[in-house]
């Protein structure tokens, strides 16, 4: 037997082994799903629009705070600092570079319109990317004006959810600091941190679910989005810890070394990490809900999961303006 035949036989045995064990077959199917949909390109697309949308949204936030809390500058700064807490290292610099738009009603209205139009690109991109991951046919996706309403709802949900999570974390940090000054406050401090983490996880899960529900067409059932929402919220909390540590220690001196370019690099890196975490969570949810496993790593032969995934991808390209249900698939993944 030649070396090539031996390598082929070994890969076939390994492939067969992973297909027969769910604990391996499921992550392999998620990896194949990410590869099929070119998730790196999708994450880059979201990062681009998130970068363009971030500053208009911050301008909107600062302008609204300036009008709503004009008598309490300290509270303005606390709310803004909490909203930017999700951006380690670069959050303080962003806060220093953002200023209110306009000083009167006309300036506020102009700022609102410009900021919302600028931020809609992210919501539109999120609808496109998430519907693609769920293989929703083009002719089943919301059209105008419902797509616009969903986009603005998406912006509101994400903004309020992120702000609420940051406020909870900020309040918990203040509470822990107060408890640390007391006698025997160790268990209380730990309990406060755990409670804050659970509340932040709950808010994050609800935020993710609402955002996914608004971005993904109604063809996908709402109950099928909960797993992705939970995975996204957990991934977000992990990213805030591990990703924040990385950004803090690897990009701490980027701004002083590269100036404004360093700030841009740090912001893009952070947004890209967030996009990847979200798309990983959604892809895992799609594989679970559609049962796209087991998948073959070295086809042929193909599996039922392969045929289901390919048939779903083909059905997603349907652009015909016909009010008919999407093609169904039998257990083998064939259209009928």
For the stretch 102-121, pLDDT in tens is 555 665 666 667 667 767 88
Give the C-alpha separation, 313 to 38, whole Å.
Answer: 13
Q: What is the pTM of this model?
A: 0.79
Any idea where the domains of the chain sit in the sequence?
Answer: 3-246+272-315
The better pLDDT of the pair 213, 162 is held by: 213
pLDDT of residue 184: 45
Please give the structure tokens belonging to residue 264.
């841009």
Helix (H, G, I), strand (E, B) or coil at 335: strand
Q: Tell me: pLDDT of 60 over 70.
A: no
Helix axes 105-133, 39-68, angle to 10 degrees: 160
pLDDT in tens, 170-223: 666 666 556 555 544 566 667 767 777 788 888 889 999 999 999 999 889 999
Give the C-alpha separation, 336 to 307, whole Å.
Answer: 13
Query: DSSP for 315-330?
Result: HTT-------PPPPB-
Q: Rounded to 10 degrees, what is the CA torsion of 276, 281, 286, 287?
A: 100
The better pLDDT of the pair 39, 332 is held by: 39
């Amino acid at each position: 037997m030649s070396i090539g035949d031996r390598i082929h036989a070994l890969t076939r045995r390994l492939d067969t082994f992973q297909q027969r064990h769910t604990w391996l077959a499921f992550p392999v199917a998620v990896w194949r799903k990410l590869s099929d949909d070119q998730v790196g390109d999708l994450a880059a697309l979201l990062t681009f629009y998130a970068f363009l949308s971030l500053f208009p949204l911050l301008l909107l936030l600062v302008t609204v705070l300036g009008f709503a809390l004009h008598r309490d500058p300290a509270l303005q700064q606390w709310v803004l600092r909490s909203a930017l807490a999700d951006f380690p290292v670069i959050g303080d610099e962003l806060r220093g570079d953002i200023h209110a738009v306009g000083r009167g009603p006309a300036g506020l209205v102009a700022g609102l319109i410009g900021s919302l139009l600028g931020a809609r690109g992210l919501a539109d991109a999120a609808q496109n990317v998430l519907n693609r991951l769920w293989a929703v046919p083009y002719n089943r996706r919301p059209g105008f004006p419902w797509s616009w309403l969903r986009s603005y709802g998406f912006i509101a949900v994400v903004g309020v959810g992120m702000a609420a999570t940051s406020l909870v974390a900020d309040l918990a940090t203040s509470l822990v600091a107060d408890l640390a000054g007391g006698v025997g406050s160790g268990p209380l401090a730990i309990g406060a941190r755990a409670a804050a983490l659970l509340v932040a996880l709950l808010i994050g899960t609800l935020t993710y679910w609402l955002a996914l529900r608004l971005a993904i067409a109604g063809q996908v059932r709402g109950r099928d989005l909960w797993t992705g929402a939970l995975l996204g919220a957990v991934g977000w909390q992990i990213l805030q810890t591990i990703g924040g540590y990385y950004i803090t220690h690897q990009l701490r001196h980027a701004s002083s070394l590269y100036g404004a370019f360093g700030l841009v690099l740090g912001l893009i890196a952070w947004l890209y990490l967030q996009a990847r975490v979200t798309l990983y969570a959604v892809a895992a949810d799609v594989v679970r809900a559609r049962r796209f496993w087991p998948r073959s790593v070295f086809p042929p032969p193909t599996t039922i999961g392969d045929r289901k995934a390919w048939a779903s991808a083909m059905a997603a390209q349907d652009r015909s303006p016909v009010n008919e249900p999407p093609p169904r698939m039998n257990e083998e993944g064939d259209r009928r």
